[in-house]
Amino acid sequence: MTQKCSVKKQTEEEIQEELNGFTALTELDALTTYLESLEKELRDLPTRIQRVRSAIKAKQDRLSKQEGAYVPMSTFVGHLESLTSIQPPGKRNPTEMLRDEYKGMKLGDIAAKVLSDKQSPMTTTELSRIIYNAESDDELGRARNSLSTELRAGAKARNPRWRKIGRYAYASL
C-alpha cells in the first residue's frame, strides 16, 4: 500500500494575494481567524512530524523483518529535524516598537500629546509613524491597529480625550 504525503506550500505572492482579498475592518475577524489557524498549524507541526517519524520507524521495522530491507532513518531525520526547527518570525509587539521618547507612557497619553502638539487632524497612519519605530510595513500595520483601538475608545469615552474627524482621522479637543 502506497501512501502519498503532501505539504501545501504557499509562495509569498500567493499569501499576499490571499491577504489582499480581505477588505479593511469588515474582514478583521476573518484575518484574525486566519492568523490563528496558521499559528495553530505551526504549533501542531512538531506533533505531526513526530507521528511521521514514528510511522517511518514502524515501517522500517516491518520491512526489515519481512524482506530484510532497511532504509536508514538518517535519510528522513535531517529533513524532519529541519521542519521542527521552524519558528515563527520574531514579531515585536507594539509596546516594543514605541519610540524612546514615549517608552513607559500609556498609549492614550501618547496619542493625546501628539494630537495636541500637532494641533491638526491626523490619520491613524500618520500618528503611528510618529509614535512607533516600525521596521516594516507589517509592524506598522500591527502598531496602527493597536493605536486605532485606543483612539476609538478615547473618542467614545464618557470624557473624550480627542474627537474623530472623518474616516481614520482624529483631532485634539
In this predicted model, which residue has the larger pLDDT, 47 or 136?
A: 136
The mean of the pLDDT values for the chain is 78
Ranges of each domain in the chain: 12-84, 94-172
Q: What is the mean pLDDT of residues 19-36?
A: 62
Asked if pLDDT for residue 16 goes beyond 80, the answer is no
Angle at 43 between CA 39 and CA 49, to 5 degrees: 130
> Percentage of residues in the chain with pLDDT exceeding 70?
69
Side-chain half-sphere CA neighbours of 1 within 13 A: 2
The fold of the 94-172 domain, in CATH, is Arc Repressor Mutant, subunit A (1.10.10)
- Distances 141 to 1, 41, 127 between C-alpha atoms, Å: 49, 23, 12
Under the banding of pLDDT at 50, 70 and 90, the label for residue 2 is very low
Whole-number CA gyration radius for the chain:
25
* pLDDT given for residue 9 in this prediction: 56
- Distances 19 to 31, 32, 86, 102, 127 between C-alpha atoms, Å: 8, 11, 22, 31, 24
Asked if pLDDT for residue 99 goes beyond 50, the answer is yes
- The per-residue pLDDT for range 133-153, each reduced to its tens digit, is 999 999 999 999 999 999 999
C-alpha cell at 12: 509569498
Q: Rounded to whole angstroms, how far apart are CA atoms 111 and 151?
A: 8
DSSP codes, 80-100: HHHHHT-----PPPHHHHB-G
C-alpha cell at 108: 492614550
Q: What is the mean pLDDT of residues 53-74?
A: 70
